[in-house]
Structure 1
Amino acid sequence: MAGVSAIPAAEDVLDRELDVLSLPDVARALGLPLTRVHQMLRDGQLLAVRRDGVLVVPALFLNGEGVVKGLAGTITVLRDSGFNVDEMIRWLFTADDSLPGTPIEALRGNRGREVKRRAQALAF
């Protein structure tokens, strides 16, 4: 499957207790074909980690309505700041006392502006 190997993925830097979804599960949750999920990963609208050799997406990246609002924009800001996929995943799941909580929790709490501001500050 040449297409799957072209999908950027982080090493599994996440807590093993964190819920993750297989790519077919992400496709079902979003009501999209699996190929569209692959494209979202390639385009930086989502991030994946390789857990036990399988690509998975942190469940916190999705909510009942789809991909968490602001995630794709935050990924773009981090990529533009020179972050690789491993660093992006780590940053999104590392507690920040000034938010408080983790950036992904802040995005889920509709505090995307604050998250993007912090991500932009990392470039300087």
Structure 2
Amino acid sequence: MVWHGGGVSAIPAAADVLAPELEVLTLPEVADRLGLPVTRVHQMLRDGALIAERRNGVLVVPEQFLAAGGVVKGLTGTITVLRDAGFSTDEMLRWLFTADDSLPGTPIEALRSNRGREVKRRAQALAL
């Protein structure tokens, strides 16, 4: 058994599943934007408050997950609902960035425009 020391390797991350043109931030950039130490960002990822993907071996977070005051309102709750529905990190990222004509737009766009209740309802419906 190999011990990883609880470092970055212990952080769950999706494969490189998002569009390459999607703006992403490295974990130090996320920490800077949130005004937190990078270790706190690592903990947020482990706790499921945020999700990341691995691009070229580097953990990154979609820029759209952050708003002026921190993490986009409703994102953490939506991640929890999706995880409870059995979604993998890859599936969660894909779902958040896939257009849904009934919203309209993508779930992350709806969260960013304060339509979190609609997004959470759709996420809960996936669990049924």
Q: Same fold (TM over 0.5)?
A: yes
Match of 2:100 in 1: 96
Give the whole-Å Cα distance in 1 for the aligned partners of 2:127 and 2:73. 22
Give the whole-Å Cα distance in 2 for the aligned partners of 1:58 and 1:19. 6
AA partner of residue 103 (structure 1)? P
Tell me how far 1:48 sits from its aligned partner: 0.2
Matching residue within 62, 67, 85 for 1:63? 67
Q: Aligned residues: percent identity?
A: 78
1:42 correspondence with 2:55: no
* Higher Rg: 2
- Listed as ranges, the matches of 1:1-124 within 5 Å are 2=5, 3-124=7-128
Give the whole-Å Cα distance in 2 for the aligned partners of 1:32 and 1:15. 27
Give the whole-Å Cα distance in 1 for the aligned partners of 2:96 and 2:113. 14
TM score, norm. by length of structure 1: 0.98
Question: Gaps spanning 5+ residues in structure 2: where?
Answer: none
Give me the CA root mean square deviation: 0.8
Give the whole-Å Cα distance in 2 for the aligned partners of 1:11 and 1:84. 11
**Count of equivalent residues:** 124
SS of the residue aligned with 2:60? strand
AA partner of residue 22 (structure 1)? T
Give the whole-Å Cα distance in 2 for the aligned partners of 1:109 and 1:43. 24
SS of the residue aligned with 1:21? strand
TM score, norm. by length of structure 2: 0.95
Tell me how far 1:54 sits from its aligned partner: 0.2
Tell me how far 1:63 sits from its aligned partner: 1.1
SS of the residue aligned with 2:39? helix
Give the whole-Å Cα distance in 2 for the aligned partners of 1:67 and 1:60. 9
Give the whole-Å Cα distance in 1 for the aligned partners of 2:127 and 2:72. 23
AA partner of residue 7 (structure 1)? I
SS of the residue aligned with 2:54? strand
AA partner of residue 18 (structure 1)? L
AA partner of residue 110 (structure 1)? N
